[in-house]
Amino acid sequence: MKKIIYWFLVLFYFLSNFESIAQNKQNKYYKPIRFSFDGFAKIPMSSNETFDYDIGYGGTFGIVYTLNKAASLELSLKSGYALLNNTTNNTSTSLIPISLGIDYYFFDEDFSPYIGLSPGINIMESKSEISLSGEIGVSYKQMKIYAGYNYMEIGTTLQIGIGYFFRQRPCGCFPFIE
- Please give the chain's pLDDT, 178 residues, in tens: 667 777 766 766 665 554 444 444 444 455 788 899 999 999 988 878 778 888 999 999 999 998 877 778 899 999 999 999 988 888 888 999 999 999 999 887 788 899 999 999 999 888 898 999 999 999 998 899 999 999 998 888 999 999 999 887 776 554 544 4
Query: 14: helix, coil or strand?
Result: helix
Query: 72: helix, coil or strand?
Result: coil
- Has residue 100 been placed in a domain? yes
Where b means 16+ CB within 10 Å and e means fewer, 131-143 reads: bebebebebeeee
**Model-level pTM?**
0.75
- Has residue 22 been placed in a domain? no
- Has residue 82 been placed in a domain? yes
| CATH code: domain of residue 94 | 2.40.160.20
Of 80, 66, 64, 162, which is closest to residue 120 (Cα–Cα)?
80
Handedness of CA 133, 73, 107, 26 (dihedral sign): positive
Where b means 16+ CB within 10 Å and e means fewer, 70-86 reads: ebbebebebbbbbebbb
Q: Which domain holds residue 73?
A: 35-165
- Has residue 7 been placed in a domain? no
Question: How many domains would you assign to the chain?
Answer: 1
